[in-house]
Amino acid sequence: MDKFVIKGGNLLKGVVEISGSKNAALPILSSTLLTNEKCVIKGVPYLRDVETLCLILKELGVKIERKSNGDIETQVIDERNSIARYELVKTMRASVCVLGPLISKRKYAKVSLPGGCVIGVRPIDLHEKGLRLLGAQIDYEHGYLIANTKGLVGCEMYLGGTFGSTVTGTANVLMAACLAKGRTVIENAACEPEVQDLVIFLTKMGAKIKGIGTHRLEIEGVKSLKCATHKIIPDRIEAGTFIAAGALSGKGITIKNCRLDHLSAVIDNYNQMGVTIEKTSATTCRVKHARVLKPLDITTLSYPGFPTDMQAQTMVLLTLADGISIVTERIYPDRFTHVAELNRMGARIRKEGSTAVIEGRSQLWGAPVMASDLRASAALVLAGLVASGTTEVQRVYHIDRGYEKIEEKLNSLGADINRLSDKVAMPIRLSASPTTTKESMMRHTTRHLPRQ
């Protein structure tokens, strides 16, 4: 397994470009199952999770091709197999997004239950609730969810759960409703930018959807959907991660291709911490090193609240803040696997249930640490950037799932990160040239798909 060796202390400066959003690309690629016509999806990042989903779609009879310009072209050519296998689904939970399109278009789906992950149990009861209300018969057998229907029929439903709305649950029910008979209303729908991007793509395919960006979606079912071309929105969590990097050690980094309107809660909280984020255009900002970081109490919420996917990265800043901070996780109460690792680097964080108390004023030192999930891994990389000495982040396949060329992008800003591959004794330093990185990224991400 690969690891990162990070020499801390370098100040970052320069320009970084944000890639397309993983969490928009996955449901949008899944939604191409809803049509037999060719679709073209632009701006899809080179990520392990995207590779995994493409393997699943291929097995579901989709001809899927990454063109030399990076576009992904899809076309359903065979609808006989509607089974999403455990061996692939277990490595990427968002594979569950094929469920809604399959049951709606093919009237049958057999999808492996995704199982939990380190950030929580991650049930799919709301996905099931919504599909049952649309008329799907749902059974469970040997770790698979099996869905059958004679034809879905629209209805009004409430899709909120204990922890609020569900992003991929909304995506699944929304995609299924597009081909259902009649009108569907989803109350307490998720309105994350990634769901909004899916609504835009489905509308381009001919779906009739009202309420984009709100917690109430209204869908008028249609007989069929057609081809469409779409460019994925920039990844707001990658952008937020680089804002955190700039706040930690940036002499002034410029972040391009980021939708600042998708980051209001992050920008507001970071401003309160004393981070300067200067908006230089609708999709560009400059972030400077925050000489003194102020402590802050943060609670993660559904969009437009503070995103849970930025919690771990932000905690790194809070370990350096000039006082005590409190982080409360309202989305994934157990999403604190990064705490123990940060404490090994000299942070002083105490976890109490779904809350973490961060003492601040820490001096982080380099240490060997273990990545455990996507965003916790990003937090450990950020900590390594500012720690004194060398940090080794092991199991970086977690980070390859959701960050395109992260070490390449950080090194181009002046960081000192080497990716040590288990095949090469010497460190391999990815060059700045995008193509080499993309090839090596493809090599890294397609070599094997270990369990997450």
- 402 near ligand EPZ, judged by CB under 6 A: yes
- Which one of residues 2, 238, 309, 400 is an interface residue with ligand EPZ (CB under 6 A)? 309
Q: Is the peptide bond before 101 cis (omega within 30 degrees of 0)?
A: no
Least Cβ distance, residue 384 to ligand EPZ (angstroms)? 19
Question: How many CA atoms lie less than 13 Å away from 441 in the CB half-sphere?
Answer: 26
Q: Which span sits near ligand EPZ by CB under 6 A: 98-106, 164-172, 200-208, 251-259?
A: 164-172
Q: Measured between alpha carbons, how far is 366 from 5 in angstroms, rounded to an integer?
A: 10
Q: Which span sits near ligand EPZ by CB under 6 A: 53-61, 160-168, 251-259, 358-366?
A: 160-168
- Which one of residues 100, 154, 169, 246 is an interface residue with ligand EPZ (CB under 6 A)? 169
- 308 near ligand EPZ, judged by CB under 6 A: yes
Q: Which residues is 393 bridged to in the sheet?
A: 4, 369
- Are 14 and 412 contacting, i.e. CB atoms less than 8 angstroms apart? yes
Q: Measured between alpha carbons, how far is 195 from 127 in angstroms, rounded to an integer?
A: 15
- 161 near ligand EPZ, judged by CB under 6 A: yes
Q: C-alpha distances in angstroms, 216 versus 38, 162, 219, 221?
A: 30, 18, 10, 16
- 250 near ligand EPZ, judged by CB under 6 A: no
- Which one of residues 123, 206, 274, 305 is an interface residue with ligand EPZ (CB under 6 A)? 123
- 157 near ligand EPZ, judged by CB under 6 A: no
- Which one of residues 19, 104, 166, 249 is an interface residue with ligand EPZ (CB under 6 A)? 166
Query: What binding mask, one character per residue, do residues 183-222 give for ligand EPZ by CB under 6 A, x or -?
Result: -------x---x----------------------------
Residue by residue, what is the 3-state secondary structure of the chain?
Answer: CCEEEEECCCCEEEEEECCECHHHHHHHHHHHHHCCCCEEEECCCCCHHHHHHHHHHHHCCEEEEECCCCCEEEEECCCCCCEECHHHHCCCHHHHHHHHHHHHHHCEEEEECCCCECCECCCCHHHHHHHHHCCCEEEEECCEEEEECCCCECCEEECCECCECCHHHHHHHHHHHHCCECEEEEECCCCCHHHHHHHHHHHHCCCEEECCCCCEEEEECCCCCCCCEEECCECHHHHHHHHHHHHHHEEEEEEECCCHHHCHHHHHHHHHCCCEEEEEECCEEEEECCCCCCCCEEEECCCCCECHHHHHHHHHHHHHCCCCEEEEECCCCCCCHHHHHHHHCCCCEEEECCEEEECCCCCCECCEEECCCHHHHHHHHHHHHHCECEEEEECCHHHHCCCCCHHHHHHHCCCEEEEECCCCCCCECCCCCHHHHHHHHHHHHHHCCCCC
The set of catalytic residues is 117
Q: Which two tokens stand for residue 43?
A: 């701006």
Least Cβ distance, residue 262 to ligand EPZ (angstroms)? 12
Least Cβ distance, residue 224 to ligand EPZ (angstroms)? 26
Of 308 and 362, which CB lies nearer to ligand EPZ in the complex structure? 308
Q: Measured between alpha carbons, how far is 432 from 412 in angstroms, rounded to an integer?
A: 7
- 168 near ligand EPZ, judged by CB under 6 A: yes
- 305 near ligand EPZ, judged by CB under 6 A: no
Q: Which span sits near ligand EPZ by CB under 6 A: 82-90, 165-173, 262-270, 344-352?
A: 165-173
Least Cβ distance, residue 26 to ligand EPZ (angstroms)? 5
- Which one of residues 41, 76, 124, 327 is an interface residue with ligand EPZ (CB under 6 A)? 124
Of 116 and 182, which CB lies nearer to ligand EPZ in the complex structure? 116
Of 116 and 323, which CB lies nearer to ligand EPZ in the complex structure? 116
Least Cβ distance, residue 372 to ligand EPZ (angstroms)? 12
Total residues contacting ligand EPZ by CB under 6 A comes to: 26
Least Cβ distance, residue 46 to ligand EPZ (angstroms)? 16
- 145 near ligand EPZ, judged by CB under 6 A: no
Q: Which span sits near ligand EPZ by CB under 6 A: 117-125, 221-229, 312-320, 441-449?
A: 117-125
- 331 near ligand EPZ, judged by CB under 6 A: yes
Least Cβ distance, residue 237 to ligand EPZ (angstroms)? 6
- 375 near ligand EPZ, judged by CB under 6 A: yes
Least Cβ distance, residue 448 to ligand EPZ (angstroms)? 21
Q: Which span sits near ligand EPZ by CB under 6 A: 73-81, 115-123, 214-222, 240-248?
A: 115-123
Of 161 and 368, which CB lies nearer to ligand EPZ in the complex structure? 161
- Are 231 and 206 contacting, i.e. CB atoms less than 8 angstroms apart? no
- 265 near ligand EPZ, judged by CB under 6 A: no
- Contacting residues toward ligand EPZ, per CB under 6 A: 23, 26, 94, 120, 122-127, 161-163, 166-169, 190, 194, 308-309, 331-332, 374-375, 402
